[in-house]
Amino acid sequence: MTKSIRPVRTNHMNLVLENVEASADHFRQAYGAELLADMPQRELHAYLFEIGRVIFEVFVPYEFLLNARYGPHYVGIEYQADIDEVREAIAERGIRIVRDIGLALHTHPADCFGVSFEFYGGYFHDREWDMLDGAKMLSAEYWRDEHPLGLTGLKAYTVAVSDIDAASAFMQGFLSGDPVYEASREGIAGRAVGLQVCDAVLELVTPMGEGILQRHLQRYGDGIRSTVFGVRDIEQARRYFADRGIETEPGGAPDSFAVAETANLGVIFEFRE
């Protein structure tokens, strides 16, 4: 029987953006993000930030030329998982590894419906961070009860795919995804399949006709489309952005909204109660 990975937790979402300073300033000003770690490397400049206990790792190439046509995008997601189990499952499926640093590895997105899955044996959310002067991240209670956005953590992330049945079968087998719902996504002219993977939902979405989702898939191909934050009160969250003049638009699911890509450095953040 083919080995399945059983992720323990979600560590962080992985983004490719164009500028370190400008992007860090944007997330701090728009969301009150905390910068956690600065990690300049030979090939690129990476850094970590968190919003509402959702951590993002940003990868910024020193020369954006080779990424310019594709632009800012989600490259993947990191899960905490047993790395030996991960290597076995990857080898059995013939999935290529695009980056391997020993303690962690990234799968080739072309072999995983456009997602580069990163796996690492450790956990990020209970660490003490140098950029916070050795302190831990702000608490879940702070983000839910004190921050004006009223965030409750990572609810889901959406993955746009052209073949949702094949993608669902793959994610169930590879990541031990447990089907929890199927739904229409009329706002984006699509269909959704939700799979519970450890502490968050991996929501597959596919177009059912002309619309924003179809245009996204034509532009980017298969891959992560958005991060979905949970909020305590959807109207409170709407007011937060309206008060700051940040453009929003309807989200993929009913009773949700998104910060427009044009107002968020080219990447989609969604908010659902």
Partners of 58 in beta bridges:
15, 47
Looking at residue 1, its pLDDT comes to: 64
Q: Averaged in consecutive runs of 10 residues, what is the pLDDT profile of the chain (273 residues)?
A: 91 98 98 97 95 98 91 97 97 97 97 98 95 96 98 98 98 98 96 98 97 96 98 98 96 94 96 96
Q: Say how far residue 227 (Cα) sits from the centre of its chain.
A: 5
Task: Identify whether 142 is part of a domain.
Answer: no
Looking at the structure, do residues 36 and 110 belong to the same domain, yes or no? Answer: yes
The secondary structure of 69-83 as a DSSP string is TT-SEEEEEEEE--H
Is 58 in contact with 23 (CB distance < 8 Å)?
A: yes
- Tell me the CA distances in angstroms from 247 to 12, 148, 186, one per residue in order: 25, 17, 21
Q: Are residues 14 and 118 in the same domain?
A: yes
Structural domain includes residue 181? yes
Mean pLDDT (the chain) is: 96
Do 17 and 123 lie in one domain? The reply is yes
In a domain, 46, yes or no: yes
Same domain membership, residue 190 and residue 109: no
Q: Is residue 182 part of a domain?
A: yes
Give all strands of the β-sheet with 200-207 in edge-to-edge order.
178-185, 190-197, 200-207, 151-160, 223-231, 268-272, 256-259, 248-250
Q: Is residue 50 part of a domain?
A: yes
Q: Could you tell me if 160 and 263 lie in one domain?
A: yes
Q: What is the per-residue pLDDT for 177?
A: 98
Residue 2 has what pLDDT? 81
Residues 209 and 98 in one domain: no
Q: Write down the pLDDT at residue 66.
A: 86
Instruction: Say how far residue 132 (Cα) sits from the centre of its chain.
Output: 23
How many structural domains compose the chain? 2
**Of 1, 5, 11, 2, residue with least CA distance to 199:** 11
Residues 121 and 187 both lie in one domain: no
Q: Are residues 191 and 225 in the same domain?
A: yes
Domain boundary pick from 132, 163, 188: 132
Shared domain check, 166 and 105? no
Q: Answer yes or no: do 167 and 100 share one domain.
A: no
Dist CA 258 CA 228 (whole Å): 9
Domain limits for position 212: 148-272
Mapped to the 3 state alphabet, what secondary structure does 215-234 carry? HHHHHHCCEEEEEEEEECCH
Say if 128 falls within a structural domain.
yes
Instruction: Establish if 194 belongs to a structural domain.
Output: yes
Specify the CATH number for the domain of residue 128: 3.10.180.10
Instruction: Assess whether 159 and 261 both reside in one domain.
Output: yes
* Domain match, 126 and 221 both: no
Residue 141 in any domain: the answer is no
